[in-house]
Amino acid sequence: MSDCVFCLVARGEIPANVVYEDDDIIAFDDIAPQAPVHTLVIPKKHYSTLSDDIPEEMLGKLLSAVNRVAKIKGVDEGGYRVIINNGADAAQTVPHVHAHVIGGCSMAHGMVSF
């Protein structure tokens, strides 16, 4: 999708602080972080929602990249949240499948809510 903001990031047409990238996935820091670590992990190919018949292999790559991002950002041992909002009713604000990797602080007492 040519006008999707995440597609533009994936193509390098919008600058982003890229944390991880391979042939299929790109991860970059959120521009409005909700915690000390807030990184978005997206497939480079456009899928609007999880209902878009995403190949299982791509979903596996997405979750594998989430784990890599957590290690890169240093939250893998202390813990982190992985959130995928799917559709408007779930507060998905960008219609491109993406996982939020959120951490770097304790979330046990509601400091961050999604």
The CATH number that applies at residue 41 is 3.30.428.10
Catalytic residues: 98
Residue 33 contacts residue 43 (beta carbons within 8 Å): no
When the pLDDT of each residue in the chain is averaged and rounded to a whole number, the result is 93
Question: What confidence score (pLDDT) does residue 109 get?
Answer: 64
Reported confidence tier of residue 110, pLDDT bands at 50, 70, 90: low
Q: Domain count of the chain? A: 1
Q: What is the per-residue pLDDT across 63-98, written as a single tens digit (0 to 9) for each? A: 999 999 999 999 999 999 999 999 999 999 999 999
Residue 96 inside a domain? The answer is yes
Residue 111 inside a domain? The answer is no
- What domain range is 87 assigned to? 5-103
Residue 97 inside a domain? The answer is yes
Residue 113 inside a domain? The answer is no
Residue 10 inside a domain? The answer is yes
Residue 112 inside a domain? The answer is no
Q: What is the per-residue pLDDT across 37-70, written as a single tens digit (0 to 9) for each? A: 999 999 999 999 999 999 999 999 999 999 999 9
Question: What confidence score (pLDDT) does residue 2 get?
Answer: 72
Question: What confidence score (pLDDT) does residue 46 get?
Answer: 97
Residue 109 inside a domain? The answer is no
How many residues does this entry show for the chain?
A: 114
Percent of the residues in the chain that have a pLDDT greater than 70, as a whole number: 94
